[in-house]
Structure 1
Amino acid sequence: MPKWTEYKRIAKERGALALELYVVNTVPAGPDVDLPGTLPDHLAYQARLEAEGKLAFAGPVSDASGENMTGEGMIIYRAASLEEADALAAADPMHSRGVRTYSLRRWLINEGSFSLSVGLSTKAVDFS
């Protein structure tokens, strides 16, 4: 199995996008944590990172059934390194206040597509 940097080089050589992002899986630290009370500061932090171009995507994830909210989430960062992404995650009020814990991984985007439609006069945006 090649090391991460070797695999990234190989992916680029074969013409893949090889865009490296960072995935944070975030889970409540326990049943009695104050998720609602921390949410406004968390969302303000996310908005700041989005404005700085460091936040690619973020939002809640369901449980395995796909039916229930559990307070878990996923955050995708744009960062220069794993260490920078870890610092971004650690500074999130949810994590810095001990409301959630997180795990962090590198993600290499090679394939896929998305569509974006922007209505200039209507200011409507559709992302799919």
Structure 2
Amino acid sequence: MQASSEMLQKQLYAITTTPTAGIEPILANLEEHLAFQVALEREGVLYAAGPMWSEDEQTWEGDGLVVVRAGSRAEAVAIAERDPMHKRGARTFTVRPWMINEGTMTVRLDKSSQTFSIL
């Protein structure tokens, strides 16, 4: 498709992470997991991450989605394997290539208050 060749075609990797034994092991490893995520963010590896809520938007059962910048799927798998959640068996994961073609991101910077927001 010609339109596709004109789009961004930015290759990223989506890591879907799922609890193996309920929420307790997730909560026990959450602090180290979040520190790992922040380290990936500072390295420029982490594109986006966060919890996946239930379909009714009311509960969280420990599922998450992590999108990383990596040179290959194998590299993305190696990143996921380093996550304390996965190293300790609190979660299992899958890695799928994800190509970004469309979308927008808007950042608002208010100079007077020196604040910003993502819209």
TM-score, length of structure 1 as denominator length = 0.84
Residue 43 of structure 1 pairs with residue 37 of structure 2: no
2-side partners of 1:112 and 1:19: how far apart? 12
Identity among equivalent pairs (%)? 35
Q: Paired residue for 1:26, among 12, 17, 38?
A: 17
Instruction: Name 1:59's counterpart in structure 2.
Output: 50
User: Is 74-83 or 29-38 further displaced after alignment?
Assistant: 29-38
Q: CA deviation at 1:11?
A: 6.9
Quote the RMSD (CA, aligned, Å).
1.8
Tell me the distance in 1 between the aligned counterparts of 2:31 and 2:114: 26
Q: In 2, distance between residues paired with 1:11 and 1:77?
A: 27
Q: TM-score, normalised by structure 2?
A: 0.90
Q: CA deviation at 1:125?
A: 1.9
Kept in 2: contact 1:22–1:79 (CA 8 A) = yes
3-state secondary structure, aligned to 2:74: helix
Unaligned runs of 5+ in 1: 1-9
Q: Structure 2 matches for 1:35-114, cutoff 5 A?
A: 35-114=26-105
Tell me if the contact between 2:86 and 2:93 (Cα under 8 Å) persists in the aligned partners: yes
**How far apart, in 2, do the equivalents of 1:60 and 1:35 lie?**
12
- Aligned match of 1:4: none
- SS at the partner of 2:34? helix
Letter in 1 for 2:28: G
Q: How many residue pairs align between the two structures?
A: 119
The structural deviation recorded for 1:120 is 4.1
Letter in 2 for 1:86: V
> What 5-or-longer segments of structure 2 have no aligned partner?
none
Would the alpha carbon gap of residues 119 and 50 (structure 1) be closer, same or farther in structure 2, given more than 3 Å must change?
same
Q: Is the 8 A contact 2:12 2:100 kept in 1?
A: yes
User: Partners of 1:64 and 1:48 in 2: how far apart?
Assistant: 30
More off after superposition, 79-88 vs 32-41: 32-41
The answer (yes or no) to whether the contact 2:18–2:64 under 8 Å persists in 1 is yes
Question: How far did 1:13 drift?
Answer: 6.7
The Cα shift of 1:62 comes to 0.8
